[in-house]
Structure 1
Amino acid sequence: MLWPTLRALAYGRMDNDRLTQLLHDFDLTTRSRTEGPGAAQSIAHRAFVDQEGTPLVLDLAQTGESGWVFTLFHTGQQPATAIIEGYRDLFREAVRAAELTLVQVKPPGAADEVLTTPVVVDIRLKGTGAGFFSGLHKTLPLQESLTDRPEAARRMNEWFGDSRERPVRRPYDAMWRLGLESEPSDFDLDINCTAIVRAAREYWKTTHPDRYPGDFMGGHGYLDKQALAGTLPALAAWSKKWEEELGRPISLGVFESSGPFDATVLGRALSSHFKENDWVIHRPDRPMAWQTPKSRVPEPPTAGTADRPRPSAAAARSRSTTSTRKPNQPKRDPAKDPGSKHQPPQHRRPDGPETGRGRSR
């Protein structure tokens, strides 16, 4: 009797050349398997003994015109974990090489091996990276609090000089620019998708059944870093790539589709729940929203112009932006003519880069 140890389901059209190559790569005989589950759909198989002496059967089955099943069977003795994981990699590579779509692998070894229905995803940039200033819980240090950090005090003085008009909340990258933190500010990327959370639960239940005896979401409503990296290795690799590209951390938060909990109902001022002014990258009703950005700053109506139609963008572009002057008309003196559109010298910004600008924690 044969029992499945590892099974991969894939979908897609496979021409004769790819099928021939696949049979060659797995050294399969084009003869149907006669026993075990799914024998009626088998089109090729091979019986062999692994290096530890365990009898195994490798099988390829076809369901319909576009369904493909890769299965590793045992005859009563399970093969070693290393053997199973080796064939997992081989199955995935075969699916990729044949340009098929992976549907499911049982047992799953990653989130994309769990059978799921089509899902919707909401993605938002949150935190200081979206709002420029940090939350109320992170304040910018006062000058007098930096007596034991002379370099930070010098940078603070270079930034603000004698001005007492300083932000209460920390601007983006400010703590790093002052030398008070070792790395620049991160980007908080919230991915809101219940299907991902369910896939993570299934993955960890299969591979680490004792890992989360209590609340799988860690009590804070999102996947912890180890659960995220283990469940979604492709997302973790993407995050690492862009951390290196941007030179700053990326903090990934995976929540249920409803998003982070609204902490304001508990009387808290700080909450990461969905808001109208969120920086939306993608959501079901606005797919790829980053390609069609929408200003988050409301434009107040100008007195007397509420009902006046606004010129089109094409009309605005067609207007000249260069002021004209009648022949023999003297030039305006910016320092003496208050009606001039130019700033007087004492109000102009000095040449060169603006002091203190750039990434600031």
Structure 2
Amino acid sequence: MTGGTGIANGVPSIVDRAGYAITLNDLEFLGLTVDQANAMKSRTLPLGMSAGVYQEFVESLRGALHDEGATDADVRIQGSSVKFFSGHHKSMPWDRDEIEDEYLKANGAKSPLSAYSLNSIVEGLTKHWPDRAHRPEARPFDALYRVGVHNEASDYDVQISSFILVEKVRAQIRRRGVEPTDLRVNKPTYNFVKKEYSSQLAYLAQWAANACELAGRPVTVAVFDGGGPPDVRDEFGELSSHFRNDDDWILFSPAFGS
């Protein structure tokens, strides 16, 4: 969540769900500048992108969707690159067991942390945030990558909603003689098209691969039907990723003439 107009040292007022406000030391710890934080706050640039990279990122995606025939595509970026903090499903791990669990989740059970590495991570986090009562509850952009819990930097989470794309996926399934039911096509809970199907959208898949190289970090694409992600607040609270037109980072959308 973001708010306020900034403080004396130029750091914008950006707070997590528990009210923790980022500091200049936090930005330095995460390898970010005040200018980058302000550019994100003003919705000029996502964190980690230069102006040139952002322009190419957006325009090449527009081209890929044109090639897919998705003239109805609504495209938004979600996640910590545009909000600074991750959503409610990604809390910041502080205890040793939480750090161990997050490391195994990200890197696989075949590569457990050594005691030395775990100690180094805990010491690094404690050195930067020594006061247990004054730590972020939500996960800051790149935080776990910086301390060595994750091997990859935070991703760019691209949300594409298009009836045309979903119908293309369903048509591909039908051509194989299989019935494209919602249960088969969509991931439960969040209702995006399963990756094994959305990855068959050739132009979009190629764009995602190119965008990873361009941005120098992972790019994740989730495809929904044109109505966007379902509103599941009654079941899952703030985990719902339904359209929030007053808060979402919208790259382009027919609904807004872009």
- TM-score normalised by length of structure 1: 0.43
Which residue number in structure 1 is paired with residue 222 of structure 2? 253
CA distance in 1, matches of 2:185, 2:95: 43
Q: Measure, in 1, the Cα distance between the counterparts of 2:171 and 2:67.
A: 10
Q: How far apart, in 2, do the equivalents of 1:239 and 1:287 lie? A: 24
Moved over 4 A (4+): 111-114, 143-148, 161-164, 211-214
**Secondary structure at the counterpart of residue 157 of structure 2:** strand
User: Is 1:209 aligned to 2:161, yes or no?
Assistant: no
The answer for the alignment partner of 2:155 in structure 1 is 186
**Is 1:282 matched with 2:234?**
no
Question: Rg: which structure is higher?
Answer: 1
Conserved in 2, the CA contact under 8 Å of 1:191 and 1:254? yes
Determine if the alignment matches structure 1 residue 240 to structure 2 residue 240.
Answer: no
- Show the counterpart of 2:137: 168
* Runs of 5+ consecutive residues of structure 2 not aligned to the other structure: 1-64, 101-114
Q: Counterpart in 1 of 2:85?
A: 133
Deviation (angstroms), 1:159 = 2.3
Select which of 73, 87, 96 maps to 1:121: 73
> Would you say the 8 A contact 1:260–1:272 is kept in 2?
yes
TM superposition score normalised by structure 2 = 0.59
User: Per-residue deviation at 1:161?
Assistant: 4.2
Say if 2:196 is the partner of 1:226: yes
Distance 1:165 1:197, change over 3 A: same
Q: Which amino acid aligns with 1:121?
A: A
Secondary structure of 2:75's partner? strand
C-alpha distance in structure 1 between counterparts of 2:226 and 2:150, whole Å: 34
| Equivalent residue letter for 2:90 | K
Contact 2:73 2:162 in 1 (8 A): yes
Q: Which structure: greater strand fraction?
A: 1
Distance 1:129 1:209, change over 3 A: farther
> C-alpha deviations, 1:101-141, integer Å up to 9, x for none?
xxxxxxxxxx9999x7x832211001222211112232212
Aligned-partner residue type, residue 240 of structure 1: A
**Cα offsets for 1:312-336 (capped at 9, x unmatched):** xxxxxxxxxxxxxxxxxxxxxxxxx
User: What is the match of residue 273 of structure 1?
Assistant: 242
The offset of 1:143, in angstroms, is 5.3
- CA deviation vs aligned residue, 1:294-327 (integer Å, no higher than 9, x gap): xxxxxxxxxxxxxxxxxxxxxxxxxxxxxxxxxx
For 2:119 and 2:235, locate their aligned partners in 1 and report how far apart those are by CA, in whole Å.
41
The 1:211–1:187 alpha-carbon spacing in structure 2 relative to 1, beyond 3 Å, is farther
Alignment of 1:97-108 (within 5 A): none
Q: Measure the CA separation in 1 of the matches of 2:209 and 2:164.
A: 23
CA separation of 1:254 and 1:211: change in aligned 2, threshold 3 A: same
User: Sequence identity, in percent?
Assistant: 28
SS in 1 for 2:206: helix
Q: What do the CA deviations read for 1:131-163 (whole angstroms, capped 9, x no partner)?
A: 111122322122565695111012213422457
Give 1:199's aligned residue.
168
Q: Tell whether the 8 Å contact from 1:122 to 1:283 is kept in structure 2 after alignment.
A: yes
- 1:134 is matched by which residue type in structure 2? S
1:286 to partner: Cα distance: 2.7
Matched residue type, 1:237? Q
> Any gaps of 5 or more consecutive residues in structure 1?
1-110, 289-361
Equivalent residue, structure 1, for 2:120: 151
Aligned residues: 174
Question: CA shift at 1:211, angstroms?
Answer: 7.8
Q: Does the 8 Å CA contact 2:76/2:160 hold for their aligned counterparts?
A: yes
The corresponding residue for 2:23 is none
One-letter code aligned to 1:154: E
CA distance in 2, matches of 1:247, 1:283: 26
CA offset at residue 263 of structure 1?
0.7
The residue type paired with residue 91 of structure 2 is T
| Aligned residues of 1:143 and 1:156 also touching (Cα < 8 A) | no
RMSD: 2.8
